[in-house]
Structure 1
Amino acid sequence: MTILKPIWYVLLVVTMTNAHSHHDQSSSCRHPAYQSYLVSQSPLVIYLDGFLTLDEQAHLKSITKDTFSRSAVADNAGVQGQRQTRTSQSTSVVRDDVVRCIEDRALLFQGFDTPRTHLEPLQLVKYGRGERYHFHTDWFTNAVHASSVMGGNRQSSFFAYVSAENITGGGTNFPMLTPPQDTRWCAFIDCDEPWENGVTFRPVVGNAVFWSNLLDDGTGDERTLHAGLPVTSGSKIGMNIWTRQGHLSENIRGKD
């Protein structure tokens, strides 16, 4: 199964209404009417304005307080460890009703054919002054991490901005994207960056970037290379939502 049909269905809806508002059967899960803006058709990159509510931002910070540790990254052999290429701190998010609601929102955005079992546990990443994540892709280059037992490779990514306190720097840079030209993008994109540097999304709290990681044949799309640029002052917290190609076992993603 590919993600293309559901995503292009979403893009059709975006073209017609340019807003999303859903209410789940559970009255406790109410999705904001966030706005969607197409950044790039190929690779598919969409900007989401207002993806997280203020209450959700506060809840995520509260339930992960004092749980962060130095982020790990896999080397070319697939071995996880601490590297100078990634100097942030990270933590997995415990699944509760608020987190399930955010998961539901990510699934609805991707269409009706993406099951919950394809979602990895949500991850928060915290960056302080001088911390960064050097250029990387979210899809795995090592087959060990992309096997069918592991749910295949990462089909898609969301990166949402949960917190940004007195921050300068710390943007999310996609060097292979062509920058859009309309000045209204400057609310979300660093328009002072040189054109040849690609697109740098500013850390605007509550907003998110979505992209598709894989080509039609299932191989990784090199154009989704990106980096968490160094924070020069202040701090930020971001959230990763990753969707796999296939089913993830309960011992990997936890109980619903």
Structure 2
Amino acid sequence: MPQIRCLSVIAITVVSLLAGIVEGGASSSKQSLFAPFSPEKCDNPPYRTQIISKNPLVIYIANFLTDKEMKHVQEVAKDDFLRSKVAEDDGTSTLAQSRTSQSAVLTRDDTIRCIEDRALTFQGFDTKREHLECIQLVKYGTGEKYNAHTDWFEAELQKTSEMGGNRETSFFAYVAASNITGGGTNFPLLEVPRDEKWCEYIDCDEPWENGVTFRPIPGSAVFWQNIREDGSGDTSTLHAGLPVTSGLKIGMNIWTRQWPMNPEHNADYEDEDDEE
């Protein structure tokens, strides 16, 4: 059945009005929902940053999301989660045992746009919204994980100009971590910092040879650069969502492409089989 993907509140209202769903207060609803998005209304938290690696660039961001935003995204996505898929070289996406989480794409309402604007501003003045893929929530229950992978693509079909090129940067933000053990985000090729202050954010009980494992702390985020200056993918950004051994973890993927994406590849609708 069709699943709404990355559809704006304005678009939803248009569909409702044309279908005759919005009645009575349609005029006032239309007037308020068609008001332009105003970034000044965003409640931007005073986040703090720590550079964990310069090559590749990896930055830890404390307090990237507000409590209100975390509650909101969980509420709007609660009925939309489906089994996560992985990208294949032929441009398709398939189910795989390497990734056993559930995923949901978020509707672009004002709260989501505030998060998008924060991610764009973090990256600099030249990054436009058209470079962003739809924000994705991922949910991990007990035993669920995502094996080591990179966010950038090797297959040419996944990084065409229409697709916006490759995934230049990634954010992984933590939305919820209820009574959780396990479920960290592991970068096996990063050098572990020696300063004990980092133990607030990373799992210092992990063996040094395992690399850096970020603890799932709600509100925080990890940002990294996927693409080298020569345009090639950086293999040292290899990372994994470690298995949740108990509890529940919800995370947020924010991916930025090298160039603006063709709207056809950031579609409002995608056909999904009911059983998926």
TM over 0.5: yes
* Residue matched to 2:178: 165
Is the counterpart of residue 123 in structure 1 residue 136 in structure 2? yes
Q: How does 1:110-149 map to 2 (within 5 A)?
A: 110-149=123-162
Letter of the structure 1 residue corresponding to residue 121 of structure 2: L
Q: Which of the residues 198, 205, 210 maps onto 1:185?
A: 198
Shift, 1:76, TM fit: 4.2
Shift, 1:158, TM fit: 0.1
Pair 224,26 (structure 1): closer, same or farther in 2 beyond 3 Å: closer
Whether the aligned pair in 2 keeps the contact of 1:121 and 1:254 (CA below 8 Å) is no
Q: Which of the residues 16, 23, 46 maps onto 2:59?
A: 46
Tell me the matched-pair count. Answer: 232
Whether the aligned pair in 2 keeps the contact of 1:161 and 1:208 (CA below 8 Å) is yes
Is the counterpart of residue 194 in structure 1 residue 207 in structure 2? yes
Q: How does 1:15-164 map to 2 (within 5 A)?
A: 26-164=39-177
Q: Which of the residues 236, 242, 245 maps onto 1:229?
A: 242
**Over 6 Å off, 4+ runs:** none
Report the secondary structure of 1:104's partner residue: helix
Is the counterpart of residue 249 in structure 1 residue 262 in structure 2? yes
Fraction of identical pairs, as percent:
59
Report the secondary structure of 2:120's partner residue: helix
Q: Please give the alpha-carbon distance, in whole angstroms, between the structure 2 residues aligned to 1:27 and 1:146.
A: 34
Pair 216,169 (structure 1): closer, same or farther in 2 beyond 3 Å: same
Whether the aligned pair in 2 keeps the contact of 1:32 and 1:52 (CA below 8 Å) is yes
Q: Which runs of 5+ in 2 are unaligned?
A: 1-36, 269-276
Whether the aligned pair in 1 keeps the contact of 2:89 and 2:158 (CA below 8 Å) is no
Whether the aligned pair in 1 keeps the contact of 2:101 and 2:139 (CA below 8 Å) is yes
Shift, 1:223, TM fit: 0.2
Q: Please give the alpha-carbon distance, in whole angstroms, between the structure 2 residues aligned to 1:148 and 1:26.
A: 29
Whether the aligned pair in 1 keeps the contact of 2:173 and 2:222 (CA below 8 Å) is yes
Shift, 1:254, TM fit: 5.4
Q: Which runs of 5+ in 1 are unaligned?
A: 1-23
Letter of the structure 2 residue corresponding to residue 231 of structure 1: V
Letter of the structure 2 residue corresponding to residue 34 of structure 1: Y
Q: Please give the alpha-carbon distance, in whole angstroms, between the structure 2 residues aligned to 1:31 and 1:250.
A: 28
Report the secondary structure of 2:126's partner residue: coil
Shift, 1:249, TM fit: 1.9
Report the secondary structure of 1:120's partner residue: coil
Report the secondary structure of 1:103's partner residue: helix
1:36-63 Cα offsets, whole Å, 9 max, x none, are: 0000000000000000000000000000
Shift, 1:30, TM fit: 2.1
Q: Please give the alpha-carbon distance, in whole angstroms, between the structure 2 residues aligned to 1:32 and 1:152.
A: 31
Pair 246,196 (structure 1): closer, same or farther in 2 beyond 3 Å: same
Shift, 1:228, TM fit: 0.2
Whether the aligned pair in 1 keeps the contact of 2:162 and 2:265 (CA below 8 Å) is no
CA RMSD between the two structures: 1.3
Q: Please give the alpha-carbon distance, in whole angstroms, between the structure 2 residues aligned to 1:119 and 1:31.
A: 19
Pair 103,254 (structure 1): closer, same or farther in 2 beyond 3 Å: farther
Shift, 1:82, TM fit: 0.3
Shift, 1:66, TM fit: 1.3
Shift, 1:188, TM fit: 0.6
Instruction: Give the TM-score of the pair, scaled to structure 1.
Output: 0.88
1:65-120 Cα offsets, whole Å, 9 max, x none, are: 11100000023444311000000000100000000000000000000011110000
